[in-house]
């Protein structure tokens, strides 16, 4: 980034025409190769899961006990079949839909709830802040998987229920983050300058705090999504996931565990690798976004 050359007369900037911050951010994001890889991976996986079934149609409702544990390639099943005869590739697509939907929805829900509560705590301050943060402390000291399992044991998990359960307790992280951000931003000199002009608290929030905090929130949201996908996998592994015939990668992976010893590797590795890839993708995207949002603040 160069500095405007300002002479005595009218300035003649020698550099390129001004670019919006979003475009600058986009450029930086694209410069981060891993972030691009992450984005492509996500698009690819999501595309296969959501569009794939249109091209590659399989029956994922009725079991076919005549075609159980077929190895990849046998009888036109590129990835074989599982213990009840579902086509593994088709199942991966279906399971991916659930994993991605639950991950995205829960991550976004957690981010929204957390952002709101954190922002309220940070802006209002005083005892509201103290109360909210103590509750956050308390809930954070309960290991999340214990909490999720407790709730999953109470209600029978369905896809919306899983989203609610994870979303309802994963907001703690974003809440803490946003509160901290709100506290720092509130004391920034540009907010003070605005107050010096006679601006109100509402304007500070609208024009200054939210636009500056939004980057942190979005970056965090991508990590929330990655975590939510893992939580779904854990709940499935622990037997509290979505019951069949619905599928998700975590559930397929834990089902696959049982098949390890019988040599049905195609039931284990594909869902395992799929989970790793999608979690990595969101982590890469998050890192790239962090760079992209930070660069806007970088001075020269």
User: Considering only residues 225-284, where is the footprint of another protein by CB under 8 A?
Assistant: 226, 230, 233-234, 237-240, 250, 253-254, 257, 260, 268, 272, 275-276, 279-280, 283
Nearest distance from residue 183's CB to another protein, in Å? 14
User: Smallest Cα–Cα separation from 137: which of 180, 109, 107, 173?
Assistant: 173
Non-local (6+) Cβ contacts of 50 within 8 A are: 93, 97, 100
C-beta closer to another protein: residue 147 or 161:
147
User: Would you state the structure tokens that stand for residue 36, as one six-digit string?
Assistant: 């691009």
Residue 154 as a binder of another protein (CB under 8 A): the answer is yes
Taking every pair of Cα atoms in the chain, the longest distance, rounded to a whole number of angstroms, is 86
Q: Which range of residues in 42-50, 67-75, 115-123, 146-154 is near another protein by CB under 8 A?
A: 146-154
Nearest distance from residue 97's CB to another protein, in Å? 18
Classify 81 as helix, strand or coil.
strand
- CA separation, residue 297 to residues 24, 25, 221, 229, 293 (Å): 11, 10, 20, 31, 8
Sign of the CA dihedral running 192, 194, 199, 201: negative
Question: Contact with another protein (CB under 8 A): which of 149, 161, 164, 183?
Answer: 149
8 Å CB contact between 25 and 296: yes
C-beta closer to another protein: residue 28 or 49:
28
Residues 26-45 that bind another protein (CB under 8 A): none
Residue 127 as a binder of another protein (CB under 8 A): the answer is no
C-beta closer to another protein: residue 67 or 79:
79
Question: Contact with another protein (CB under 8 A): which of 23, 33, 134, 206?
Answer: 134
């Amino acid at each position: 980034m160069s500095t405007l050359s300002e002479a005595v007369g009218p300035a003649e900037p020698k550099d390129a025409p001004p670019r919006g911050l979003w475009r600058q951010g986009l450029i930086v994001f694209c410069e981060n190769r891993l972030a691009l890889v992450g984005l492509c991976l996500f698009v690819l996986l999501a595309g296969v899961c959501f569009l794939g079934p249109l091209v590659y149609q399989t029956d994922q409702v009725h079991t076919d006990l005549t075609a159980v544990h077929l190895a990849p390639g046998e009888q036109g099943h590129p990835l074989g079949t599982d213990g009840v005869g579902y086509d593994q590739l088709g199942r991966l697509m279906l399971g991916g839909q659930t994993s991605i939907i639950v991950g995205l929805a829960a991550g976004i829900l957690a981010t929204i709830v957390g952002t709101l509560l954190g922002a309220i705590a940070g802006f209002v301050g005083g005892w509201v802040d103290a109360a909210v943060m103590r509750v956050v402390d308390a809930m954070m000291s309960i290991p999340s998987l214990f909490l999720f399992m407790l709730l999953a044991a109470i209600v029978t998990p369905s896809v919306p229920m899983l989203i609610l359960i994870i979303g309802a307790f994963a907001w703690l992280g974003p809440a803490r983050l946003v509160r901290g951000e709100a506290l720092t931003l509130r004391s920034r000199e540009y907010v003070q300058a605005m107050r010096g002009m006679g601006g109100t608290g509402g304007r500070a929030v609208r024009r200054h705090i939210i636009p500056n905090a939004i980057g942190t929130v979005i970056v965090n949201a991508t990590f929330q999504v990655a975590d939510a996908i893992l939580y779904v996998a854990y709940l499935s592994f622990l037997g509290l996931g979505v019951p069949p015939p619905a599928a998700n990668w975590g559930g397929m992976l834990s089902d696959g565990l049982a098949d390890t010893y019988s040599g049905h590797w195609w039931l284990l590795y594909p869902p395992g690798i799929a989970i790793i890839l999608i979690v990595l993708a969101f982590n890469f995207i998050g890192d790239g976004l962090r760079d992209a949002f930070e660069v806007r603040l970088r001075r020269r």
